[in-house]
Amino acid sequence: MFEYLEYLTIIAAPFYLGAILLYTLRAIKGPSIPDIVLAIDCIAYDLAVFLALIALYYRSPIMITPSLLLSLWAYLLDVFVSKYLASRRVEA
């Protein structure tokens, strides 16, 4: 029943890892704070999906927990950065 998930995981894993590498380059090179935050969000969400794929591959539901925690961490990062950017005063 889950054979197609195994094949999907094997096929999708290199694409997710490649995307994480590209997002890492954007996070390092990002010219502004929103660019860096967006790249880190993409890394976190792609890594969460990748961990979920690994959990499906190994049929281990306990491995889903770090994926959920990582997604919540990325959401909190968005909240804190948006509060920081909103509280900064723009001088004209």
Residue 38 near residue 44, CB atoms below 8 Å: no
What is the tens place of the pLDDT at every residue in 15-72?
Answer: 999 999 999 999 999 888 888 999 999 999 999 999 988 888 888 889 899 999 999 9
Q: How far apart are CA 91 and CA 78, in angstroms?
A: 24
Query: Which region, left, alpha or beta, applies to residue 59 given φ > 0 means left and ψ of -120 to 50 means alpha?
Result: left
Q: Torsion angle, CA of 56/60/23/4, rounded to 10 degrees?
A: -10
| CB-count burial class (<10 Å; 0-12, 13-18, 19+) for 64 | middle
* Domain ranges across the chain: 3-22+32-86
The pTM assigned to this predicted structure is 0.81
